Amino acid sequence: MRTLRTAAWALSALGLLGCSGLAPDIETSGMEADVRELIETRRVELNGAPSAQTWGALGDALLAHGLDAEAASCYANAADLSDEPFEWVYLQALATEGSTARDLFERALDLRPDHALTELRLALAHQRSGDHEEAATWFERASLHDANLQRALRGLGQSRLALLRHTEAINALERAVADEPRDAAAWSALAQAYAAGGQDERAEHAARQATRGGERAGFQDPIWLAHVLQNGVSAARRFGRAKHALATGDSDAAREQLEAILQSRPGDADAHYLLGSIERSSGNEDAAQRHWERALESNPDHVLSLLAWAVSAQRAGRLDEARDRIEHAHRLTPMDPSIVLALAENRQYANDIDSAAAAYARLVELVPESADSWLNLGMLHERKRRNDLAIEAYRRAAALDPASRATARLNDLER
C-alpha cells in the first residue's frame, strides 16, 4: 500500500512542478497593496536564490491569500529540494483537493508516521469525499495519538453516525462535548445519535445545547499558523492573527495587526470592535467607546459593538441609551441568550421590574437549564408579590441546583 502511495505522490508531484526554474508570474490585480508587495518580494527573493526555503516562502504567501493552485506548485518544488520535506508536503496537501490531497497527506504520514494532525487532516479529506469508514479509521488514530484533538473526536462520532453505529457514535460525541461544551456541530450529531438509539430525552437536551453553541470548525494547527496565518498581510489574515494573539494573551501583537488593518480600511467595524475590547481591558473606557462608535458608524447592525457600547453606557449610568442599543442587537439576533441577559440586567438596574421579569422569562425559554435565571425570575416576581409565579420559578431553580438560594426563598414562601 505504501508503495502505491509513494508512486501516486511521485506522479502528483511531477504534475505540479510548473514553478521549477524562475518564479512564476502571479496575477495579483485587484488584491490589496500589501498583498501584491509581499508576493512580488517573495518572487524576487526566489529568483535571487532558488531553494526549498524560498520556494516554500512564496508558497506561504500565495496560500495565505487564496492562490491555492499556485501555492501547491511551489510547495512541490520546495519538497523536491528539501532534505526534510514533511511540512512542504503537508502544506501542498492543504493547497489541493480531492484524491490528490489524500495522496499527499498519506505521503506526509510516510515521512512522519503517527502524526496526529496529519491523520486528522486525512480523516477530514475522506469525510468530505463521503468515505466514512476510512474517515472513522483516521479520526480514531488521530484521537489516540493526540488526546487533545477534540475535532478528531467530533469527526469520529459523525463518521460512526453516518455508518449507523450509534452506540460508538455516542461514545465519541459525549467525549467531544465534554472537551468543548459549546461545539454546536458535536451536540447536533449527538442529538441525532441519541434519537436513533431511542434516547428521546437526551436527544432533546442535546438539540437544545446545539442551538446555544457556536461553530467550532477550526482546530489548532501550528503548521498552518506558522506558514499561512502568520504570512498573511490581507485585512482578513491580519484579523485572524489579531484574534489568535488575543487568545494567547498578547494584546500588543493584536493591537499592531488591527491598527495595520485600519490604515488601509479605516472603517473596518470588526477591527474597531476588537480594538475597543483591548482598550476596555486596559481600563481605557473612553477610547473603547470611541472605537465602538466608529464600528457602528460603518455598520449600524454590528451586534458585538452594539452590546459592548451598551455595557459601557450602562456603567456610566446611561441606562436608557444602553437599552436602545441592546434592543437593537436583540432584534438582529433574537435567539442569543447573552443579549437577552443584558436586557434583563439593564432593566433590573433601571428598577423596571416588569420589563426585567419579561426578559428573564424569555431567557429561561432559551436556556431552561439556567438555575440562576430561574432564581432571578423568582426574585423579580416576589418583589411584585406574584408569589405563585415566584414559587414556580424557585422550584425550577432548586431542582436544577439544590444549593441555590432559591431553596431558602421557596421554604419562606411555602410556610
In a domain, 328, yes or no: no
- Grid coordinates standing for 183? 461545539
Distance from C-alpha of 223 to C-alpha of 226, rounded to nearest angstrom:
5
Question: Given a cut of 50, is residue 10 above it in pLDDT?
Answer: no
Question: Given a cut of 90, is residue 118 above it in pLDDT?
Answer: yes
In a domain, 80, yes or no: yes
Question: Given a cut of 50, is residue 100 above it in pLDDT?
Answer: yes
In a domain, 90, yes or no: yes
Looking at residue 183, its amino acid is D
In this prediction, residue 218 carries a pLDDT of 67
402: Cβ contacts below 8 Å, ≥ 6 apart:
none
In this prediction, residue 247 carries a pLDDT of 86
**58 and 81 share one domain:** yes
**348 and 396 share one domain:** yes
The packing angle between helices 132-145 and 116-128, to 10°, is 160
Question: Given a cut of 60, is residue 5 above it in pLDDT?
Answer: no
Question: Given a cut of 90, is residue 267 above it in pLDDT?
Answer: yes
For range 125-149, the mean pLDDT: 96
- Grid coordinates standing for 250? 498578547
Residues 413/390, Cβ–Cβ less than 8 Å? yes
**Residue 177 pLDDT class (50, 70, 90 cuts):** very high
Distance from C-alpha of 174 to C-alpha of 166, rounded to nearest angstrom:
12
CATH number at residue 100: 1.25.40
Which of 265, 291, 318 is where one domain is finished?
A: 318
**Residue 18 pLDDT class (50, 70, 90 cuts):** very low
**201 and 241 share one domain:** no
Which of 231, 265, 293 is where one domain is finished?
A: 231
- Grid coordinates standing for 140? 480514531
Within its chain, how far is the Cα of 242 from the centroid? 14
**21 and 58 share one domain:** yes
**66 and 125 share one domain:** no
**Residue 22 pLDDT class (50, 70, 90 cuts):** confident
Which of 267, 283, 318 is where one domain is finished?
A: 318
For range 357-380, the mean pLDDT: 93
Give the number of residues written for the chain.
415
In a domain, 329, yes or no: no
Residues 323/346, Cβ–Cβ less than 8 Å? yes
**119 and 226 share one domain:** yes
What is the percent of the chain with per-residue pLDDT over 70, rounded to a whole number?
93
Neighbours of 294 (CB within 10 A): 20
How many domains is the chain partitioned into structurally? Answer: 4
**Residue 45 pLDDT class (50, 70, 90 cuts):** very high
What is the percent of the chain with per-residue pLDDT over 90, rounded to a whole number?
81
CATH number at residue 381: 1.25.40.10
- Grid coordinates standing for 369? 437549564
**176 and 240 share one domain:** no
Mean pLDDT (the chain, rounded): 91
Q: Count the alpha carbons within 13 Å of 201 in the hemisphere toward its beta carbon.
A: 0
Model pTM above 0.95:
no
Residues 232/239, Cβ–Cβ less than 8 Å? no
In a domain, 59, yes or no: yes
In this prediction, residue 409 carries a pLDDT of 86
Q: Where are the alpha helices (DSSP H) in 163-268?
A: 166-179, 184-196, 200-212, 222-227, 235-247, 251-264
**310 and 243 share one domain:** yes
**106 and 126 share one domain:** no
In a domain, 239, yes or no: yes
**54 and 159 share one domain:** no
**Residue 216 pLDDT class (50, 70, 90 cuts):** low
Name beta bridge partners: 183: 214
- Grid coordinates standing for 87? 511540512
Residues 242/274, Cβ–Cβ less than 8 Å? yes
194 sits in which H/E element: helix 184-196
Question: Given a cut of 60, is residue 279 above it in pLDDT?
Answer: yes
Q: Count the alpha carbons within 13 Å of 85 in the hemisphere toward its beta carbon.
A: 24
Residues 319/345, Cβ–Cβ less than 8 Å? no
Looking at residue 364, its amino acid is V
291: Cβ contacts below 8 Å, ≥ 6 apart:
272, 273, 275, 276, 279
In a domain, 53, yes or no: yes
Largest CA distance in the chain: 89
- Grid coordinates standing for 286? 473612553
In this prediction, residue 21 carries a pLDDT of 58
Within its chain, how far is the Cα of 368 from the centroid? 25
In this prediction, residue 150 carries a pLDDT of 95
Of 48-57, 204-213, 325-334, least confident by mean pLDDT is 204-213
In a domain, 326, yes or no: no
Q: How far apart are the first and last CA of the chain?
A: 76
**400 and 307 share one domain:** no
In this prediction, residue 11 carries a pLDDT of 39
Question: Given a cut of 50, is residue 155 above it in pLDDT?
Answer: yes
**Residue 32 pLDDT class (50, 70, 90 cuts):** very high
**406 and 366 share one domain:** yes
**Residue 215 pLDDT class (50, 70, 90 cuts):** low
Q: What domain range is 389 assigned to?
A: 334-415
12: Cβ contacts below 8 Å, ≥ 6 apart:
100, 103, 104
In this prediction, residue 16 carries a pLDDT of 41
The DSSP output letter for 214 is B
**Residue 17 pLDDT class (50, 70, 90 cuts):** very low
Phi, psi of 183 (to 5 degrees): -80, 95
In this prediction, residue 195 carries a pLDDT of 96
